[in-house]
Structure 1
Amino acid sequence: MKNKVCVVTGGAQGIGKAIVENFINEGAKIVYALDTNEKLLKDLEIQNKNVIGYVLNVLDRDAIKIFVDEVKNKYGKIDVLVNNAGITKDGLIQKMSEEDWNMVVDVNLKGVFNMTQEIVKIMLDNSFGSIVNMASIVGEVGNIGQTNYAATKGGVIAMTKTWAKEFARKGQNIRVNAVAPGFIKTPMTEKIPKKVIESIKSKIILKRMGEAFEIANAVTFLSSEKSSYITGHVLDVNGGTIL
């Protein structure tokens, strides 16, 4: 990751924070942590040199353009984009409100589109870049009560494969991959009842939930030149939940 300019959405906590910190530990020149939580971003900046916290909503296309122009003017490049920002609004299909459907689809799917559409322009100009999209095991096998979330993560996988073909079609060295986590300890999963957690762990071959740093390691690998011949791939990191 040496000398790389990186952007991580949803970078203030959980998996996103672990990715930001891993990039810095691996020698990234600068990491922009994008999030809507200003306090957590400030804490992250204090704790980590070469991290810039930037308050940004991935649905605000005008703000995204301003941000990308700022980075381009300062560094002339963006080497790595990690589309990590995501939310859940779970419920059985019979009870899921249109608002909850729209919100999850907007953030998890349209947000990925918005960020990539702007940042890939710089990558195409430089004929170089790595994009890593955060998918999910749920996007591969589905999950009861997560119609909206599963649909978005399946869509992220489809976009990943499409962009891998699209962005490199003229010989540019731009790779697009996805990481599909299983059940990981994050602020999001902390809300799940303990009984449900124990049931989940019993179905995992390694008999435990994953840690945020284990997802960060996978993302760092796909972002770095160590994976220079990998594109259009979905890397499952789920402890053997699905084989």
Structure 2
Amino acid sequence: MDTPLHVDRRGHVLEVTLNRPKANAIDLMTSRAMGEVFRDFRDDPELRVAIITGAGEKFFCPGWDLKAAADGDAVDGDYGVGGFGGLQELRDLNKPVIAAVNGICCGGGLELALSADIILAADHASFALPEIRSGTVADAASVKLPKRIPYHIAMEMLLTGRWLDVEEALRWGIVNHAYPTGDLMEKARSFAELLASGPPLVYAAIKEIVREAEDMKFQDAMNRITKRQFATVDVLYDSEDQLEGAKAFAEKRDPVWKGR
């Protein structure tokens, strides 16, 4: 039996490919494996960026594997570290993640994509939250989507389960960029290399600030930053990379980031 994940290290970039024919649906075993992969990505100082995509050109991921559920996988079972798909609840993931959506992206698959920082899509990709039609709730999407796109559009998706093509997903800001199918992974890898060449300690600070400040008042968040009460900001301000950035600017050269 093929492994449900293909994991490939490309320098500072980790590529994770869901590989569960026919649709790349996620069962409990796959979710736990994804959690382990992304936990190791988080903790590996040599890895700076991750890409999550699906095998083939038809499905990115439809979310929860209903066939596995019918065979006994509990919908409230042990998804593993990081929750469903390994990303949604993984603590302190302060590195950029790119979702390369290569086809149908719905239900928990859309929730997985929303857990990434950048979403790139093939031009034939489509998006939906069809849980309403099977009498259940798209829990993570109910929390995340109304904060990401206009409230009324998010509620329409949640309440009706209707499908969006990639053009509409772009219009509402669900997707950053769309590309011809054959170009998607090349574009995702180029984007990942661009990020991997940047300052990892700054990325970590950005991700922690954005995550922690989401429900804070502006001045409260600014006070925590200036007082170095975010762990990543404290590390950044005392780092070699902080000094390197200033030196490189003064010397009119490209900085060399060491992540320390």
Greater relative contact order (CA < 8 Å, ≥ 6 in sequence): 1
